[in-house]
A and B are shown apart, each in its own frame.
Chain A
Amino acid sequence: MPAGTHGAPARLSARDRARRAARGGESPRSVPGPLLVPAVIAVAFLVLPLAGLVVRAPWGRLGSALSGADAVQALVLSLWTATVATGVCLVIGVPLAWVLARTRFPGQRLLRALVTLPLVLPPVVGGVALLLAFGREGFLGRLLDSWFGLTIPFTPLAVVMAQTFVAMPFLVITVEGALRSADLGFEEAAATLGASRMTVFRRVTVPLIAPSLGAGAVLCWARALGEFGATITFAGSFPGQTETMPIAVYYALENDPDAAIALSLVLLLVSVLVLASLRDRWLRGGAVQ
């Protein structure tokens, strides 16, 4: 009798019995081969390169490798620009998410497609677009230059703008989804208690979506921190001015591979910390305030 037909007994340990009884259905440990093999390949593909990074790291001269590449400068620049960009995304992105989730107007679907475009657009194209708009010869940049004497490209401001451009859709999409699935009953209750629409937004809507807001902000920050293409196109790579960590890694790889690995390690560490913070504060759910 071939395996798997009716009546063929299989072994079932006492532990598996208890597990099946508790969860119902198949044991959570049994995975069919055709699913298991690709899954293992996927894990290896994702994890092995990172493991290689850790193994190949110049642990002995990590300190000197980092200082040699102006790593501290680049890290500080990356951290503050990503933080400011996230702040900007929150200030203008959350209201946008609210408008997309809570109102109906003609062309709304087109607008949603437009604001999420940077999500799929190659970042370097975003950089070119920013340059064409805000560059010295750009249609907006020219006005800013003649009115305020403000030149944006190749400044830390350009770094922040490039990061905001690329990262905002992450926040908008996360927050819009949360707003759509939020229970409108609480907002109605707040209205019957005398709260204006702004008060409802401030005291009910935002606190209720706080977990998603936090997750969106962290995603947004991580995306801003890793920004490369739009930044190098629009802001260039002046050390201390616009050379962020990812750009520093890219250049270090040419001249000083050890420094590149050390810088990458630092970014990896920051990413792991971000993930851990997501896990503890937001992914657990229900953590408000």
Chain B
Amino acid sequence: MTGHPGEGGSLEFDATVRRGSFSLAVAFAVPPGQVLGVLGPNGAGKTTLLRALAGLTPVAEGRITLGGLVVDDAAAGTFVDAARRPAGYVFQDYRLFPHLSVAENVAFSPRARGLGRAAARAAARSWLDRLGLADLAGRKPAELSGGQAQRVALARALAGEPALLLLDEPLAALDAQTRLDVQSELRQHLVDFAGPCLLVTHDPLEALVLADRLLVLEGGQIVQDGTPGQVARQPATDYVAKLVGLNLYAGRAGGSAVTLNDGGSFIIPGHGEHGDVLVAVRPSAVLVGGEPPHATSARNVWPATVTGLTMLADRVRLDLRGQPSALADVTPAAVTELSLEPGSQVWLSVKATDLEVYARDHGQSGGAG
């Protein structure tokens, strides 16, 4: 075994990973104890990133260090393979060994890393106790519910005492109710984990609840790196905006006016930005009326056509085409009052204070947070 990095060593990743024609080129660092949520659409390179970190896919260029120790360096030819890399990996489909009991699954890593049978069993028992799984010790994975299997997979990964924890959509395989239960519990275990932790997800709520910081990947690149609050308020791309349910417009700021690239403009007094900017607005802040309201400098007004209506929990989301197009949330009562249907002509208005303006390159440096 190569040296075990000290507990709580930080992770530094600056590398290119290639799988077939796909290439992931990113640089970031994760300090010990931080949970980095990795968010992105399918094919963005999230799982490729985890595989490179776990040592399942070597990097093509660049290097990865963990606690100051180089675990992969393409130029120097250094490579610590998966078996000797102190990374715990919770797979999306868990991959619990079907022929081993829960206790044997959890004892697998201590045993493989050199502990004797009795010591490995004791280590497994303590992890089972910590995760509240002691009652399930004798069961086979096939006899577990989804939530239980998720916990066992986490216990199995933690039992190897990893310096780095990797979770690939840990809650994706669970039904909605179980997900909520497991989520808060998982949060606690992630807080307890001393090393850096990466959590891949494409559920924004999961990312907001579980992660301390978010990294948004698209097409093998980092498009945003920031706290969950920042990402939710000031999304850098359409994908993130859709994910967090915001309208997002790219444009150029000149004085108090912002000219939007895809048509239309906003007047936003005193926003203080220049050049390329993004403007974000919540669908609930877009007001819909049948008549043109009184336009003021504090209120942006433009006509639009309803192209779609979707029932959300207690509101109706309108898809509106205009300059610019927008999503707006209204009450079901408003839909009836204004007799809204596809093709209806409406007037939209947004208060200038509801428009969030920020420089376009925000959070796209890709540097360490």
* Residue numbers in A under 8 Å from B108 (CB-CB): 190, 193, 195, 203
A192 contacts the other chain (CB 8 A): yes
Asked if B83 and A194 make an inter-chain contact with CB atoms under 8 angstroms apart, the answer reads yes
A208 contacts the other chain (CB 8 A): yes
* Residue numbers in A under 8 Å from B82 (CB-CB): 188, 191-192
B81 contacts the other chain (CB 8 A): yes
* Residue numbers in B under 8 Å from A192 (CB-CB): 54-56, 82-83, 85, 87-89, 157
Asked if B160 and A193 make an inter-chain contact with CB atoms under 8 angstroms apart, the answer reads yes
- One of B81, B83, B85, B97 near A186 (C-beta < 8 A): B97
* Residue numbers in A under 8 Å from B187 (CB-CB): none
> Which residue of chain B has its CB nearest to the CB of A289?
B99
- Which chain B residues in 28-54 approach chain A with CB under 8 Å? 54
> Which residue of chain A has its CB nearest to the CB of B89?
A192
- One of A186, A195, A196 near B95 (C-beta < 8 A): A186
Asked if A208 and B112 make an inter-chain contact with CB atoms under 8 angstroms apart, the answer reads no
* Residue numbers in A under 8 Å from B61 (CB-CB): none
B224 contacts the other chain (CB 8 A): no
B317 contacts the other chain (CB 8 A): no
B93 contacts the other chain (CB 8 A): yes
A67 contacts the other chain (CB 8 A): no
Complex formed: what's the CA distance from A150 to B83 in Å? 45
Complex formed: what's the CA distance from A267 to B109 in Å? 47
* Residue numbers in A under 8 Å from B109 (CB-CB): 193-194
Chain B: minimal CB distance from A107 (Å): 26
B360 contacts the other chain (CB 8 A): no
A204 contacts the other chain (CB 8 A): yes
> Which residue of chain B has its CB nearest to the CB of A210?
B99
Chain B: minimal CB distance from A147 (Å): 41
Asked if B83 and A185 make an inter-chain contact with CB atoms under 8 angstroms apart, the answer reads no
* Residue numbers in B under 8 Å from A189 (CB-CB): 89, 91, 95, 97
Chain B: minimal CB distance from A229 (Å): 39
Chain B: minimal CB distance from A201 (Å): 12
Chain B: minimal CB distance from A250 (Å): 44
* Residue numbers in B under 8 Å from A288 (CB-CB): 98-99
* Residue numbers in B under 8 Å from A191 (CB-CB): 55-56, 81-83
B156 contacts the other chain (CB 8 A): yes
Chain A: minimal CB distance from B57 (Å): 10
> Which residue of chain B has its CB nearest to the CB of A204?
B97
Complex formed: what's the CA distance from A230 to B361 in Å? 78
Complex formed: what's the CA distance from A188 to B94 in Å? 11
B84 contacts the other chain (CB 8 A): yes
Decide yes or no: A193 and B99 within 8 Å by CB, A185-B93, A188-B56, A188-B82 being known contacts: no
- One of A185, A186, A195 near B112 (C-beta < 8 A): A195
Interface of A, helix, strand, loop or mixed by DSSP = helix
Complex formed: what's the CA distance from A268 to B93 in Å? 47
A68 contacts the other chain (CB 8 A): no
> Which residue of chain B has its CB nearest to the CB of A208?
B99
Interface residues of B, count at CB 8 A:
25
A199 contacts the other chain (CB 8 A): yes
Complex formed: what's the CA distance from A117 to B307 in Å? 68
> Which residue of chain A has its CB nearest to the CB of B159?
A193
Complex formed: what's the CA distance from A246 to B97 in Å? 43
* Residue numbers in B under 8 Å from A197 (CB-CB): 83
**A166-196 vs B, Cβ < 8 Å mask (1 yes, 0 no):** 0000000000000000000110111111111
Complex formed: what's the CA distance from A190 to B96 in Å? 9
**B58-92 vs A, Cβ < 8 Å mask (1 yes, 0 no):** 00000000000000000000000111110111010
Asked if B84 and A194 make an inter-chain contact with CB atoms under 8 angstroms apart, the answer reads yes
> Which residue of chain A has its CB nearest to the CB of B50?
A192
Chain B: minimal CB distance from A289 (Å): 6
A207 contacts the other chain (CB 8 A): yes
Asked if B83 and A195 make an inter-chain contact with CB atoms under 8 angstroms apart, the answer reads yes
Complex formed: what's the CA distance from A185 to B87 in Å? 16
Complex formed: what's the CA distance from A203 to B89 in Å? 19
* Residue numbers in A under 8 Å from B95 (CB-CB): 185-186, 188-189
> Which residue of chain A has its CB nearest to the CB of B114?
A194
Decide yes or no: A193 and B91 within 8 Å by CB, A204-B97, A210-B99, A288-B99 being known contacts: no
* Residue numbers in B under 8 Å from A194 (CB-CB): 83-84, 109, 112-113, 160
Complex formed: what's the CA distance from A193 to B113 in Å? 8
| Best-surrounded residue of A191, A197, A203, A208 (most CB of chain B within 10 A) | A191
> Which residue of chain B has its CB nearest to the CB of A199?
B112
Chain A: minimal CB distance from B345 (Å): 52
Asked if B156 and A193 make an inter-chain contact with CB atoms under 8 angstroms apart, the answer reads yes
Complex formed: what's the CA distance from A193 to B157 in Å? 7
Complex formed: what's the CA distance from A186 to B156 in Å? 13
**B236-259 vs A, Cβ < 8 Å mask (1 yes, 0 no):** 000000000000000000000000
Chain B: minimal CB distance from A196 (Å): 5
* Residue numbers in A under 8 Å from B81 (CB-CB): 191
* Residue numbers in A under 8 Å from B84 (CB-CB): 194
Task: List 20 A-B pairs, Cβ < 8 Å.
Answer: A185-B93, A188-B82, A190-B108, A191-B81, A191-B82, A192-B54, A192-B55, A192-B83, A192-B88, A193-B108, A193-B160, A194-B109, A196-B83, A199-B112, A204-B97, A207-B100, A208-B97, A208-B98, A210-B99, A288-B98
Q: Nearest 10 pairs between A and B by C-beta? A: A189-B95, A193-B109, A195-B112, A191-B82, A192-B89, A194-B113, A194-B112, A207-B99, A288-B99, A185-B95
New A-B contacts (13) at CB < 8 Å, excluding given A192-B56, A193-B109, A194-B160: A185-B95, A188-B56, A190-B97, A190-B108, A191-B83, A192-B89, A193-B108, A194-B83, A194-B84, A196-B112, A207-B97, A210-B99, A288-B98
